[in-house]
Structure 1
Amino acid sequence: MATISDVARAAGVSPATVSRVLNGGRVSPERAERVRRVASELGFSPNRVARSLRTQQASVIGLLIPDIENPFFTALARGVEDASRRTHLSVVLCNTDEDVEKEARYLDVALAEQMAGVIVAAASPRRSDFSALDARGTPVVAVDRRPGAATVDAVMVDDQRGGDEATAHLLDRGYRRVACVTGPADTAASEERLAGHRAAMRAAGIPDAWIRAHTRHADLRVEGGRTAMAELLTLPEPPDAVLVTHDLLTVGALEALRTAGVEPPAFGVLSFGDVPWASLVRPPLTTVRLPSYDLGVAAATLLQERIAGSTGPRRTVTLRPDLHPRASTSGPTPG
């Protein structure tokens, strides 16, 4: 079934323009006619919108996240749900798998079903497009990731500060060759945590060339962390500690270290994301606790304010991560 995005591509216009045409907005006659003709040719019908009851419009919001299996987003989703339930909002959960096209289709569903609003962890800071929602007047709150071209309310973590404090902790504990395994380069959280790591390393007098050589970007999967860590261990000057910026990457990194016969705390390991098993592994894992549940609550609260009619300036709420020292970073030598 064709979507608003399909019509927009075929007509050579933006999804926002398609939305305006379908909703009687101001669009040039030539462009409006082209959009209607393409919509007819593709079999696109806006009648799905008419089928949505007004009671549904007032009670359903969309939550778009990359992967519910990631513990960070599991907790975030719970925060959204708990906060939404207090105001009798139901949450429709969508996994985008970091796929901009899949994200766009879910956004089309949000428009077609007249959802009251959308909370989204953008699949791409540059290519995610919320313009059709904006044209319809549907409130959007970005969470964890800020899409660069969109002007929306946002709830973020001070990731750069977290990366700086985490690396400084490793250096303070006596590690000197601190590597970093982070997520894809187009993911804002990954880049901000890496920026904090670099700042702490530079402050310690570590050359930029060394920092670059000991940085690895990886897909946000266990296998990505395993491969990146294995590569770092084969360098001519291997690290003696690693900052891993996502918890699934940490699982893979720990597997690679075990395969190589390398054990914390002789080799320091520090992970973003205070997952429940962090205190259960041996030695217990030092982590940066991300306020994922609180992110969800704050995002739902901002969205509820917009749904209720708030028209003030766009807001950004920034939450601070917390360092939880444990034995995995107790130092490169006993005692």
Structure 2
Amino acid sequence: MSRPTIAAVARAAGVSVASVSRVLNGLPATEEMAERVQRAVAELGYVPDSRARSLKVGRTFQLTLAVADVGNPVYVTMMRAVEEVVSAAGYRLVVTTTGPDVVDEVALVRGMARGYADGLVISPLRVDDDLIKSIQECDVPVVVAGNVPARAGVDTVRANSPKGMLLAVEHLLTTQRHKVAFVNGPVDTVPGTARSKGFTDAMKANSLNPVAQVEADDFTFAAGREAGRRLLDQLGLETTQPSAEGARAPGGEASSPSSFPAAGGGGIDAVIAANDLLAVGVMHELAARGLRVPDDVAVIGMDDSELAEQSFPPLTSVNLGSAERGRRAAELLLARIEDDTRTPRRIVVQPSLSVRRSS
């Protein structure tokens, strides 16, 4: 019979792994939480594996979160969630940037052998066999916040991007938008691949054909602005200046007749972007062409980051659960540190739609 694990204690107590670690490490916790954890410990006969702990020579009580771009608001949200969980368990969190190149991701994972952290949560932008191999062979536990093949045999937490795309398309249909364009990030990335397929499937499910699809060079604001420029050029819209009496910023009250091609003439009435940074870049380009959001063109982003509420007009966005993904990834990492023999878990976080004024 296998020994009870800290994850089993957490399930029995109805709390997170981080909460169990917090109580067992003598860190501050509510009286109710402490009682629930101690009761579960007694009922299961849980005993920390002192032999395993003794083998962790040079343990740092430091964990690493690696993301592609620390400037992306979605990663900031994830970072805060991871930090909350691991700090409650007595760990410090170090955040590092891998950049978009899979070679740098592999180098970071292999560098964990230097012993500066006891575990790693990585959100890779690109995945190949070398990265999977490096994760499998890593000297410390690794959890992937993203999608890797099941054959990798590692703990993963990912978003359900295809369902998120379906929510976005169905919302546009309820607002009578049928001429939809898509601005994706690089399609050779994990999110780019998932969101491209999700958009195609969502449009087919609703008997729609996309007006246009454009691939941005990156998932940044600047790339979104440039992709928006290419999209509108492709559709034949020249830069215009609204008339003085009708000019307004996106989301304002006054309006002027749009010079955008009419429905059926190659125009669009909505754009879905693969993340919020791209979406805001597109909105800026629409404004530069004299188009109003959402009157002329509705815009929907993905991630539902802080930027969505801060943009003007506020951006409708698919919430892909970045905070929840961060929390679950951190809990999986703590459980893996406690018991490296446990069966890998693959968790999917479901999306929701945050409707704001851009649609």
Q: For the superposition of Structure 1 and Structure 2, which TM-score range results when normalised by the shorter chain?
A: 0.7 to 0.9
Q: 1:157 matched to which residue of 2? A: 159
Please give the alpha-carbon distance, in whole angstroms, between the structure 2 residues aligned to 1:142 and 1:257: 36
* Matching residue within 95, 109, 112 for 1:110: 112
Deviation at 1:174, TM superposition (A): 0.7
Please give the alpha-carbon distance, in whole angstroms, between the structure 1 residues aligned to 2:194 and 2:161: 6
Please give the alpha-carbon distance, in whole angstroms, between the structure 2 residues aligned to 1:226 and 1:214: 16
Please give the alpha-carbon distance, in whole angstroms, between the structure 2 residues aligned to 1:256 and 1:139: 44
Please give the alpha-carbon distance, in whole angstroms, between the structure 2 residues aligned to 1:192 and 1:136: 26
Please give the alpha-carbon distance, in whole angstroms, between the structure 1 residues aligned to 2:75 and 2:196: 20
Aligned length: 273
Q: Percent identity?
A: 30
Give a deviation string over 1:39-91, Cα, whole Å, max 9, x none.
xxxxxxxxxxxxxx956425122211001100001111111111111111222
**Alignment pair present for 1:315 and 2:314:** no
Deviation at 1:136, TM superposition (A): 5.0
Please give the alpha-carbon distance, in whole angstroms, between the structure 1 residues aligned to 2:116 and 2:56: 8
Q: Relative to 1, partners in 2 of residues 1:295 and 1:69: Cα closer, same or farther, differing over 3 Å?
A: same
Q: 2:62 matched to which residue of 1? A: 60
User: Amino acid of the residue matched to residue 229 of structure 1?
Assistant: G
Deviation at 1:248, TM superposition (A): 1.4
User: Amino acid of the residue matched to residue 334 of structure 2?
Assistant: Q
Q: 1:278 matched to which residue of 2? A: 308
Q: Relative to 1, partners in 2 of residues 1:132 and 1:187: Cα closer, same or farther, differing over 3 Å?
A: closer
Q: 1:78 matched to which residue of 2? A: 80
Please give the alpha-carbon distance, in whole angstroms, between the structure 2 residues aligned to 1:185 and 1:98: 12
Deviation at 1:150, TM superposition (A): 2.8
Residues 130-139 or 319-328, more deviating: 130-139
**Does the 8 Å contact 2:156/2:329 carry over to 1?**
yes
Q: 1:224 matched to which residue of 2? A: 223
Correspondences of 1:35-184 after superposition (within 5 Å): 56-113=58-115, 115-135=117-137, 137-146=139-148, 150-184=152-186
After TM superposition, the score normalised by the length of structure 1 is 0.75
**Alignment pair present for 1:290 and 2:288:** no
Q: Relative to 1, partners in 2 of residues 1:128 and 1:288: Cα closer, same or farther, differing over 3 Å?
A: farther
Please give the alpha-carbon distance, in whole angstroms, between the structure 2 residues aligned to 1:298 and 1:285: 26
Q: Relative to 1, partners in 2 of residues 1:59 and 1:240: Cα closer, same or farther, differing over 3 Å?
A: same
**Does the 8 Å contact 1:62/1:110 carry over to 2?**
no
Q: Relative to 1, partners in 2 of residues 1:281 and 1:224: Cα closer, same or farther, differing over 3 Å?
A: closer
Q: 1:328 matched to which residue of 2? A: 358
Please give the alpha-carbon distance, in whole angstroms, between the structure 2 residues aligned to 1:297 and 1:55: 27
Correspondences of 1:205-244 after superposition (within 5 Å): 205-207=207-209, 211=210, 214-218=212-216, 219-234=218-233, 235=235, 237-244=266-273
Q: Relative to 1, partners in 2 of residues 1:255 and 1:69: Cα closer, same or farther, differing over 3 Å?
A: same
**Does the 8 Å contact 1:181/1:229 carry over to 2?**
yes
Please give the alpha-carbon distance, in whole angstroms, between the structure 1 residues aligned to 2:277 and 2:189: 15
Please give the alpha-carbon distance, in whole angstroms, between the structure 2 residues aligned to 1:129 and 1:222: 28
* Matching residue within 210, 228, 246 for 2:275: 246
**Does the 8 Å contact 1:164/1:198 carry over to 2?**
no
Residues 65-74 or 243-252, more deviating: 243-252
Q: 2:254 matched to which residue of 1? A: none
Q: Relative to 1, partners in 2 of residues 1:283 and 1:114: Cα closer, same or farther, differing over 3 Å?
A: closer
Deviation at 1:121, TM superposition (A): 1.0
Match of 1:125, SS state, is coil
Residues 304-313 or 160-169, more deviating: 304-313
Please give the alpha-carbon distance, in whole angstroms, between the structure 1 residues aligned to 2:97 and 2:153: 23
Q: Relative to 1, partners in 2 of residues 1:281 and 1:91: Cα closer, same or farther, differing over 3 Å?
A: closer
Structure 1 runs of 4+ with >4 Å offset: 53-56
Deviation at 1:250, TM superposition (A): 1.5
Deviation at 1:247, TM superposition (A): 1.4
Q: Relative to 1, partners in 2 of residues 1:107 and 1:310: Cα closer, same or farther, differing over 3 Å?
A: closer
**Does the 8 Å contact 1:128/1:147 carry over to 2?**
no
Give a deviation string over 1:204-241, Cα, whole Å, max 9, x none.
3234xxx3x61111111212111211222222513211
Please give the alpha-carbon distance, in whole angstroms, between the structure 1 residues aligned to 2:151 and 2:222: 31
User: Amino acid of the residue matched to residue 273 of structure 2?
Assistant: V
Please give the alpha-carbon distance, in whole angstroms, between the structure 2 residues aligned to 1:239 and 1:296: 36
Deviation at 1:128, TM superposition (A): 4.9
User: Amino acid of the residue matched to residue 253 of structure 1?
Assistant: V
After TM superposition, the score normalised by the length of structure 2 is 0.70
**Does the 8 Å contact 2:110/2:138 carry over to 1?**
no
Please give the alpha-carbon distance, in whole angstroms, between the structure 1 residues aligned to 2:128 and 2:135: 17
